[in-house]
A and B are shown apart, each in its own frame.
Chain A
Amino acid sequence: MIRTVLTALGLVVVLALTLACFGVAVGPGLLLLTEGAFGDKFAIARTLVKATPLLLTALGMTVAWKTGVYNIGGEGQYIVGAVFAAAIGKLLLPTSPGPIWTVLMLIAAILGGAGYASLAGWLYVRRGVEIVISTILLNFIAIQILGWAVEGPLKEKAGQVPQTDSIPDAAMLIKFDRQMDLHAGVVLALLAAVAVYLLMYRTRLGFLMRVTGDNRRAARANQIPADRLQVVAMAISGGLCGLAGGVQYLGIVGRLGTTFPEQWGFLGIPVALLGGLHPLGVIPAAVYFGALFAGSDQLSRFTPAGTSLVYVIQAVAVLGFVAMSTVKWRRRKPDGRTESNS
């Protein structure tokens, strides 16, 4: 509890310092940010729309990292998920669009991301290829796949621009209000958070995954199939990132082009860390960064500081977080090692 309050306070301080560094008056700057993020229902909608893909990718990172596989490939899985959804969309074209489209396309997105991530997981347990490296490289490949898809098989009918055709409105995620971007994806993301929580903390599978993540050697010494669990964790992680791609595609953009990647896959990592790698902890973390993105739009209208502010704040927050956990770790270790009294 105290830690949460301290973290929140720390984030405000970081925010204020960053604003000062950007040469923005701190008081009015904070006010503009808050207004842009929570000022009215439109602002809140903007915040939630930005928080949605962040939450999903951060959940993906949480599952993988908690199982000891450091998935850095959220971005690639996000892209591949969207491409799979678009491919299914193309296949469905002869039928009349409806909610069944949405469901099928989202399932395709999940499977696409899951498959793409499992590839890295499989390479790790079978061939010992470090997850960090393989997933980073798979990110680049994913961008190429997207480029190839929108130039080739998924190119729009008009054939002018390298992009897919727009998804019919009937197949898009439901919007709550015509004037706002807020779509049903936010509900999906929240449900996903609860599902991941239940998986990790209430099921045998999630429990064994956490044991593997905390101490792989001990897991193996206890006959826990660590390899298989880590592949499963990668699949779930990739599925969540793929879903994020599908949700962004079917909730906001409606068509894929080479500008589709917006780094949500990467941004999920700091959000997951800030959320303490806990499926419920990442909800406020995602909202916080969603609010920063929404608020910084407003800020850039009145001051020289813009969206880049968000990245700076993210970086500082993550560095701070890492520094803090190192201190904690150092303090814990000698205590854990004392072999004295029982």
Chain B
Amino acid sequence: MNLLAGFLSADAGEIRLGSTPIPQGDPIACRQLGIEMIHQHFMLVPAFTVEENLALNRLPNLHSSLRISNLIQTSLTAAKGLDWEVANDSRARDLPVGAQQKLEILKALGGDARVLIFDEPTAVLSPTEVTELFTVLRRLRDAGAVVILIAHKLSEVFAVADRVTVLRRGEFIGTALITEITSEKLARWMVGEFPPAQDIPTQELGPPVVQADGISVIGDQGQLAVRDVSFEIRAGEIVGFGGVEGNGQDELAEALACLRPAAGALTLPVHRHRIGYIPQDRQADGLALGLSIEENLLIKGVDRAELVRRGWLQLRAIHRWAATLVEKFAVKAESARSLAGSLSGGNQQKVVVARELDANPELLVVVNPTRGLDIRSTQFVHDSIRQAAAAGTAVALFSTDLDELRALASTTYFLSRGELLTGNSAETYLGAKA
């Protein structure tokens, strides 16, 4: 969709609107053709007022005088047509998420839009706001515009769409009129063959390490990301959390890793440093790329008495210990003193895994641990997680990869809009309640 709106250029092929080819990589030209995109991550200037934000897309050029009230007339008329109250003088950052979404839509309606692209607009909205949004989408359609809605949820597609097209991993899967397709078939298009549940060899499970009883977590944008969920993870158990990205997985993982406050009764290991965390973004949250492999391992190793005595680093012991870990976890590096930033992605991940598992955690929180890794590294990381569980660690595995969940987890929950669903079907995965 970024191609269609001119934010990216295609490597090959062209897109035509009517009979005119769409200029590629030129969002302004696309806007002049009447293509508007409402981005999933809002494109607002937080410190600007509502009026100023509305005018953003309408600026004629850089040197003529600026009359904001003229520029935003169309947007304001559109707002009136939709019965939306607009607080012109508030700053965008002070608005609740739903109002920011409205602002984003009004911004798009400020021109002569013929094609409107909504990229997952419902992710941060409450159910009532979603219903309201769908009414708006229908009205826009009735007014003659083309509305493209990118969605992951079957219920949304059936609620509002006339025709549906499925893309999976960049490939075209199929297209159908909504009246001619069942939710089951659509789910199969979206997910592919749903992998059958595998038999995870069950071992003796220990006492519960994590007990969550009705916990809720607030996300970065102030939305309720996790709503009133309950589950438990026992020592030696791998519990999977799946579902479409952006349904509260990150927030729940951070709450379990003690990095985000949670409301409700959440029992975690008493000592924070007994919680291992393998974050989704190893470069941003996992590693200090400017330090050596050894130093990155030491981030968790500083609690070991033989490595740090009375606040002093025992360099010789540290060198020996780090070299053993590098070898044990098959990190391919010149030496343990090479910079972590010089490693390939797979080896960086191995450093994180080595560090977290060596600390022998009671609870291990893992988020998409094999994203971007090749098959061998993936296998290695999977084996490591299994071994940790076999040694009695409770593992919370967050993954968007169904095969990964099937391969590792003995129980899998799916998150949809911050709620937990269980069940073993493609529909559950996509968030429709089975």
Contact = CB atoms under 8 A, between A and B. Distances in A.
A335 B284 contact: no
A208 interface: yes
A211 B284 contact: no
B33 interface: no
B277 A207 contact: no
Nearest to A336: B341
A219 B300 CA distance: 10
Contact of B344 (A217, A220, A224, A341): A341
A110 B332 CA distance: 46
B401 to A, nearest CB: 15
B302 A340 contact: no
B312 A202 contact: yes
B251 interface: no
Contacts of A219: 288, 299
Given A205-B311, A208-B302, A342-B347, A218 B273 contact: no
Given A342-B346, A342-B350, A336 B289 contact: yes
Contact of A203 (B275, B311, B345): B311
A278 to B, nearest CB: 13
A208 B300 CA distance: 10
Interface string A325-342: 000000010011111111
Nearest to A222: B299
A284 to B, nearest CB: 22
B350 A215 contact: no
B279 A207 contact: no
B277 A222 contact: yes
A169 interface: no
Contacts of A335: 341-342
A341 B374 contact: yes
B376 interface: yes
B36 interface: no
Contacts of A207: 295, 298, 302, 313
A224 B373 CA distance: 28
A336 B343 contact: yes
B144 interface: no
B113 interface: no
B290 A214 contact: yes
B284 A342 contact: no
Contacts of A223: 258, 272-273, 275
Contacts of A208: 302
B219 interface: no
A339 B311 contact: no
B9 interface: no
Nearest to B371: A339
B287 interface: yes
A337 B311 contact: no
B344 A340 contact: yes
Contact of B259 (A205, A211, A220): A220
Interface string B271-283: 0110101010001
Given A204-B302, A211-B295, A332-B342, A339 B372 contact: yes
Interface in B333-351: 341-348, 350
B311 A204 contact: yes
A202 B315 contact: yes
B291 interface: yes
B286 interface: yes
Contacts of A217: 284-285
B257 interface: yes
B289 A224 contact: no
A324 interface: no
Interface string A173-216: 00000000000000000000000000001111101101100110
A339 B289 contact: no
Contacts of B302: 204, 207-208
Nearest to B288: A214
B24 interface: no
A132 B343 CA distance: 32
Given A202-B313, A220-B259, A336-B341, A215 B288 contact: yes
Contacts of B299: 211, 218-219, 222, 224
B49 interface: no
Interface in B245-270: 257-259
Nearest to B259: A221
Give the residue among B279, B332, B344, B374 with the most A Cβ atoms within 10 A: B344
A342 B311 contact: no
A204 B344 contact: no
Interface in A85-130: none
B345 A338 contact: yes
A231 B257 CA distance: 25
15 contacts: A201-B313, A204-B312, A205-B311, A207-B298, A211-B288, A214-B288, A214-B290, A217-B285, A218-B287, A221-B257, A221-B285, A222-B277, A223-B275, A341-B344, A342-B376
- Closest 4 A/B residue pairs (Cβ): A342-B346, A339-B345, A214-B288, A339-B372
